[in-house]
Amino acid sequence: MTSITEQSQGGFRLDMLWTDARYRSSFLQIVAFLLLMLAVGWLVSNAIANLAALGKDFNFSFLGTTASYDINQKLISYSSTSLHWEAAVVGMLNTLLVAFMGCIACTVIGVIAGVLRLSKNWVVSKLMLVYIEAVRNVPLLVQILLWYSIFIESLPAPKQFRENVPEGERATLWFDMIAATNRGFYVPRPVFEAGSMVMLIVFVVSVLALFLFNGIRAKYQERSGNEIPNALHLFGQAFAIVFGLGVIWLLLPSFDQGAFGIIWKLVVGVAIGAGLGFALYSMSTLSVRVAILVLPLVIAYYVMGQPVSWLYPELKGFNFTSGEDASIHARNSLMALWLALSIYTGAFVAEIVRGGIQAIPKGQSEAAGALGLRPGRIMSLVILPQALRVIIPPQISQYLNLTKNSSLAIAVGYMDVTGTLGGITLNQTGREMECLLLLMAFYLTISLSISAVINWFNERIKLKER
Amino acid sequence: MKTSVFFGTLATAALAAGLASAGTLDDIKAKGHVQCGVSTGLAGFAFTDENGKWHGFDVGLCRAVAAAVFGDADAVKFTPTTGKTRFTALASGEVDVLARNTTWTLSRDVDLGFTFLGVNYYDGQGFMVPKSLGVTSATELDGATVCIQTGTTTELNLADFFRVNGMSYEPLPIETNAEAQQNYLAGACDVYTTDASGLAATKATFEAPDDHVLLPEIISKEPLGPLVREGDEVWGDVVKWTYFALLAAEEYGVTKGNADDLASSPPNPDVGRMLGSEGNMGEMLGLPADWAVHAIKAGGNYGELFDEYLVPLGIGRGLNALYSQGGLQYAPPFR
């Protein structure tokens, strides 16, 4: 280290390294860096030497050998004759799946809870307070196990769906299409037949049309002061009514299940349909947007002779059928992990959102109110966009936490990368060092990628200073 | 420059210290107890009573080893390990010996760097189903959901069994036997598969054990035995010969009740050598002369341990009978 600094440039003395402010900071950094490298080097050489003493070498060739174990949830094709690295990839995809689903759900839950936490309604704000404080202060592992136990103990086993089970004890599908069992949720899988390509094209065109509509609408509003022309407003309201009725019609029960089932489903169906209909009716602009997206798609669906069909869950042997040519199986392990992660992280997000909103001066909402905006619009148009600048940076660490916490998956038997590469593969091959290093590299890559994406987003929305 | 020299020296010193470890037997004698890795809880093999004291067939072996070394069956501490953590615990030196129904396989013996010392229980993988399922053979399990402990050989056997028979299944991986019970009893899986002894032990703890049956198929060989780190021969010999002493004791009729009497007046030279009244077997092992007497008195001979812990669960001797009674349990001679 001294060879670099000894190159004296006239009047340089060695003690200037720590007495002269010009050199001191770089000198200290170099020293600290070398010390760090020495420490790392010592740890690595120690580990290698100790592994050698145990008669273990350090190589990754085990990844190319047959895994010989099965994994229940696989997003790519995999069998027990696949290799260990393929098992690792299956695990990685499972980790990414639950992390992706969790990040979306925790954002939705967090934003809603954070906004409601500031509600002027005493009951609502206290309810949110209870949610946030209760969930934040119970260990995540306990929550995951709790959800899993609720699923496996309270939902019916597949055999309770059988024909020969007496009427009173027999379990039935939700809306005749979703089987909620203690082995997971079976939901219909869409099958795209010839002609569904047309629907895809129609949908893409609809999305383009939506952008076009938004542009034209903004110009219209600048010019006239109205959101949309009166005729379009009426069209939006008419569509909202049709849409609500359509949803009710879709959810109508078939009349072969007991009186209780029919009434229950009727109530739920009408509630959902009416709720959606009324919401759209009161927001005619949104209603028009939904119409642009949905209407052409529905027309194309019937014109092309209903090219999309559904594979419903079907009881066969021990289980409902699932897989490539049957319904989609969302296992309870995934559902419990996803719910627990989202609800837990959502509580932290709620606090961040609340902090972000409270960071916006009160004058902003008062000014918006003076312009005649209603509270909902003040929140969505004035407060939240500004609060976003405060919310995004701490939000990154919540997404990272959620992703890393997903490694608790093994507690409920969800086969994430910690379960495959860091669990079964590690056990069957005994390559702890190699497996754990790969795991660390994987989580590091994912975390840094999430960070990078959200930092980029943050750059885009932050206050432009000129 | 000086710092790097200093750290280099420090690193070398630390490295040398890490490598130069004394023999495990000496370490154990120095610390005053044996650290034994057992299962997290499996009826019959390793379980705790209401006072938190460990009992069981595997635990019995640990106690016998402790008694052989220290003359005290309680000079042993237990570390509960799961199927996943057991090998790391042993390799890292957290436990001195692993007596946790662990299957002896080539890769574990050779590649993982352990030494298996014998087979204290010959087992095989079986299936348990609720009677109400109406299944009488494992070949009828196509499409079933199977509860299975991850990180065990059973996972590999299961995959092979279903693949060879052209059947599909849905694995429900779980960590411990307790979780498996919870899932199985709630009907989250149709079948629970593990070693047949484990199934029998688990079934015995159910509220209504008669509502469940073990299927006739045994799909694998599961020789379960104690193991130590490879290269740990001296300590390995102590565990191995303690186990043989328990076996030979049953063969010669030495029980925990009569071990002291037979040691003072051995009926034949074999028993005399084993119990230390003749020869210097104990000295060869680095143990007191009466090591085997203490080991046998700790919990009884092999047969007594079996009768105490496994027979009440409905597990018969089967392959685990002495060779003289048609089984596979055989101890080499003490000479």
The helix or strand, by DSSP H or E, that contains position A328, with its residue range, turns out to be: strand A328-330
pLDDT of residue B11: 47
Q: Smallest Cα–Cα separation from A115: which of A128, A105, A103?
A: A128
> How far is A390 from A403, CA to CA, in rounded Å?
22
- CA dist list (Å): A464 to A458, B226, B305: 11, 69, 79
Burial A279-298 (b: 16+ CB within 10 A, else e): ebbebbbebbbbbbeeebee
Q: If you write DSSP's letter for every residue of B252-266 in order, what string do you get? A: HT--TTTHHHHHHS-
> How far is A180 from A464, CA to CA, in rounded Å?
50
pLDDT mean across residues, chain B = 88
Q: Where are the alpha helices (DSSP H) in A375-431?
A: 375-377, 384-405, 417-419, 426-429
Residues of B in contact with A430 (CB under 8 A): 87, 91, 107-108, 111-113
Please identify among residues 106-145 of chain B the ones whose CB lies closer than 8 Å to any CB of chain A.
107-108, 111-113, 141-145
Q: How near does any CA of chain B get to the CA of A187, in Å?
A: 17
Q: How near does any CA of chain A get to the CA of B259, in Å?
A: 39
List, for residues B16-42, the tens digit of each pLDDT value. 444 434 588 999 999 999 999 999 888
Take residue B104 and report the two structure tokens written for it: 């002896």
Cβ pairs bridging A and B (under 8 Å):
134
pLDDT of residue A54: 67
* Percentage of residues of chain B with pLDDT beyond 90: 57
List, for residues B53-96, the tens digit of each pLDDT value. 999 999 999 999 999 999 999 999 999 998 778 888 998 889 99
**Residue A178 gets which letter from DSSP?**
B
> How far is A461 from B13, CA to CA, in rounded Å?
55
What angle is formed at CA A125 by the lines to CA A120 and CA A131, rounded to 5 degrees? 170
Residue A2 touches partner B, C-beta closer than 8 Å: yes
Please identify among residues 170-209 of chain B the ones whose CB lies closer than 8 Å to any CB of chain A.
170-175, 182-183, 186-190
Q: Smallest Cα–Cα separation from B174: which of B166, B186, B164?
A: B186
Q: How near does any CA of chain B get to the CA of A153, in Å?
A: 6
Contacts of residue A288, Cβ cutoff 8 Å, sequence gap at least 6: A213, A228, A232, A235, A236, A239
Backbone angle region of B326, left / alpha / beta, with phi > 0 → left and psi within -120 to 50 → alpha: left
Residues of B in contact with A31 (CB under 8 A): 3
> How far is A307 from A194, CA to CA, in rounded Å?
6
> How far is B124 from B162, CA to CA, in rounded Å?
16
Q: How near does any CA of chain A get to the CA of B212, in Å?
A: 17
pLDDT of residue A55: 67
0.80 exceeded by the pTM? no
Residue A455 touches partner B, C-beta closer than 8 Å: no
Alpha carbons within 13 angstroms on the beta-carbon side of residue B177 total 25
List, for residues B194-216, the tens digit of each pLDDT value. 988 889 888 888 899 899 999 98
Residue A154 touches partner B, C-beta closer than 8 Å: no
pLDDT of residue B20: 39
- Chain centroid, CA B232 distance in Å: 18
What separation, in Å, do the N-terminal and C-terminal C-alpha atoms of chain A show? 44
Q: How near does any CA of chain B get to the CA of A215, in Å?
A: 51
A219 burial class (0-12, 13-18, 19+ CB within 10 angstroms)?
exposed
Q: How near does any CA of chain A get to the CA of B73, in Å?
A: 30
What separation, in Å, do the N-terminal and C-terminal C-alpha atoms of chain B show? 61
> How far is A445 from A447, CA to CA, in rounded Å?
6
Measured between CA atoms, the residue of chain B closest to residue A3 is B1
What was the ipTM of the complex prediction?
0.74
Q: How many other CB atoms are there within 10 angstroms of residue A120's CB atom? A: 7
Please identify among residues 288-307 of chain B the ones whose CB lies closer than 8 Å to any CB of chain A.
none
Residues of B in contact with A428 (CB under 8 A): 107, 151, 156
Q: If you write DSSP's letter for every residue of A339-350 in order, what string do you get? A: HHHHHHHHHHHH
> How far is A80 from B229, CA to CA, in rounded Å?
30
Of residues A41, A72, A426, nearest to B171 (C-beta): A72
Q: Smallest Cα–Cα separation from B168: which of B190, B184, B183?
A: B190
> How far is B45 from B306, CA to CA, in rounded Å?
10
Detail the DSSP E strand segments found in chain B.
34-39, 47-48, 54-55, 76-81, 97-98, 114-116, 121-123, 125-130, 145-149, 170-174, 191-195, 212-214, 222-224, 227-229
Residue B3 touches partner A, C-beta closer than 8 Å: yes
Query: Are A87 and A80 spatial neighbours (Cβ–Cβ below 8 Å)?
Result: no
Query: Are B190 and B125 spatial neighbours (Cβ–Cβ below 8 Å)?
Result: no
What is the three-class DSSP state of A450? helix
User: pLDDT digit of tens for each residue in chain A (466 aa)?
Assistant: 445 555 545 677 888 887 888 888 888 899 999 999 999 999 988 888 877 776 677 788 889 999 889 998 888 889 889 999 999 999 999 999 999 999 999 999 999 999 999 888 899 999 999 999 999 999 999 999 999 999 998 888 888 888 777 777 777 777 677 888 888 898 888 888 877 888 889 999 999 999 999 899 889 888 888 888 888 888 888 999 998 888 888 777 665 556 666 777 778 888 888 998 888 888 888 888 888 888 888 888 888 877 788 888 888 888 887 777 788 888 999 999 999 999 999 999 999 999 999 999 999 989 999 999 888 888 888 998 889 888 888 988 899 999 999 999 988 989 999 999 988 898 888 788 889 999 999 999 999 998 898 888 888 877 776 6
What is the three-class DSSP state of B151? coil
Query: Are B195 and B101 spatial neighbours (Cβ–Cβ below 8 Å)?
Result: yes
Contact A70 B158 (CB under 8 A): yes
Contact A427 B87 (CB under 8 A): yes
Of residues A69, A81, A157, nearest to B187 (C-beta): A157
Residues of A in contact with B155 (CB under 8 A): 69-70, 424
Q: Most B CBs within 10 Å: which of A48, A59, A69, as the mutation test of the B interface?
A: A69
What is the three-class DSSP state of A438? helix
- Chain centroid, CA A211 distance in Å: 26
Residues of B in contact with A40 (CB under 8 A): none
Please identify among residues 40-59 of chain A the ones whose CB lies closer than 8 Å to any CB of chain B.
41-42, 45-46, 49-50, 53-56
Query: Are B68 and B5 spatial neighbours (Cβ–Cβ below 8 Å)?
Result: no
Residue B158 touches partner A, C-beta closer than 8 Å: yes
Q: What's the Rg (C-alpha) of chain B? A: 22
Q: Smallest Cα–Cα separation from A198: which of A327, A297, A274?
A: A297
State mean pLDDT over B109-134: 90
Residue B264 touches partner A, C-beta closer than 8 Å: no
Q: How many other CB atoms are there within 10 angstroms of residue A240's CB atom? A: 24
The helix or strand, by DSSP H or E, that contains position A2, with its residue range, turns out to be: helix A2-5
Measured between CA atoms, the residue of chain A closest to residue B93 is A54
Contact B187 A53 (CB under 8 A): no
pLDDT of residue A100: 94
Q: Smallest Cα–Cα separation from A331: which of B189, B46, B296, B257?
A: B189
Contact B186 A152 (CB under 8 A): yes
Statement: residue B99 has pLDDT above 90:
yes
Q: How near does any CA of chain A get to the CA of B143, in Å?
A: 6
Instruction: Measure the CA dihedral A384/A389/A395/A399, to 10°.
Output: 90
Statement: residue B320 has pLDDT above 70:
yes
pLDDT of residue B22: 56
Q: How near does any CA of chain B get to the CA of A382, in Å?
A: 49
Q: Most A CBs within 10 Å: which of B152, B172, B233, as the mutation test of the A interface?
A: B172
Q: How near does any CA of chain B get to the CA of A436, in Å?
A: 12
Contacts of residue A342, Cβ cutoff 8 Å, sequence gap at least 6: A101, A102, A105, A106, A109, A402
Query: Are B62 and B227 spatial neighbours (Cβ–Cβ below 8 Å)?
Result: no
Provide the greatest CA pair distance for chain A.
Answer: 100
Q: Smallest Cα–Cα separation from A384: which of A356, A408, A406?
A: A356
> How far is A294 from A296, CA to CA, in rounded Å?
6
Query: Are B212 and B129 spatial neighbours (Cβ–Cβ below 8 Å)?
Result: yes
